[in-house]
Amino acid sequence: MFALYKKEIQSFFYSPFAYVLSALFMLIFGFAFVNRIASMQTSVFQFSFPDMFYNNFFYFVFIIPLLTMRSFADERRGGTEVQLLTSPLTVTQIVLAKFLAIETVFLFMIALSMFYPIYISFHGTVIWASLICGYISFFLWGTVCITLGMLFSSMQSSAIIAAIIGEIFMEGFLFLDQFAATKMVESHPQLNSVITWFSMQRRFVYFAQGLFRLEDLVFFISLTVLVLFWIILYIEKRRWSHR
């Protein structure tokens, strides 16, 4: 499993791919950072980092599918899927190795963004408790999106199509709050409750405010495990078809 994890990591960092996505990730932060400075009304720079995450979810969503689109689609397109599925590794080990490799790249991107709060700490006020909670919730949010992106990649032989489907599906998650607020949904309390329950943005807000709720943590972890299990079942089915 470690050998596959290492191979996946190398495929990211031995090519420009991870660095281009990291640069795009930092570019989004940079624009948000500059816009925040431009809107300053006092001489002391007070900055809410969780607000930056929340206000730029729409743009971050475009990065995640690009990160996951090649995970399985390239194996099918390149003809290496059969070799991988007939290897001594179990399907669970294959899925986890790819998942952990993508998570590592995602953590690398998040670590780079720490430049901004560190810089701000020398020139303004950083509420570290809120910052840490914001990072944790953003990581959990990104982890769920990564598993969804991997699922779509496992179902496609084209990485581009996998990315497009991932973009559409993940953007849909961002509009759950607005959809739940429509008169049609509000007139059906049970439906409203179900839709609201799946809102990741709302759960992010609770985390960012320092309101650690076990319900939110269980939601992110459970959804991650559920989608990973779904991927394993789908790949296992394909593995048996090659025997």
Stated pTM of the model: 0.87
- Model confidence pLDDT, tens digit, residues 4-38: 898 889 888 888 888 898 898 888 887 877 776 66
DSSP string over 119-135: HHHHHEE--HHHHHHHH
- Model confidence pLDDT, tens digit, residues 111-131: 988 888 887 777 767 777 777
pLDDT at 230: 94
Of residues 239 and 104, more confidently modeled: 104
- Model confidence pLDDT, tens digit, residues 168-181: 888 877 777 667 66
- Model confidence pLDDT, tens digit, residues 133-159: 888 888 988 899 999 999 999 888 888
Identify the bridge partners of residue 54 per DSSP, sorted by sequence position: none
Residue 78 has pLDDT above 90, yes or no: no
Tokens of 178: 């607005």
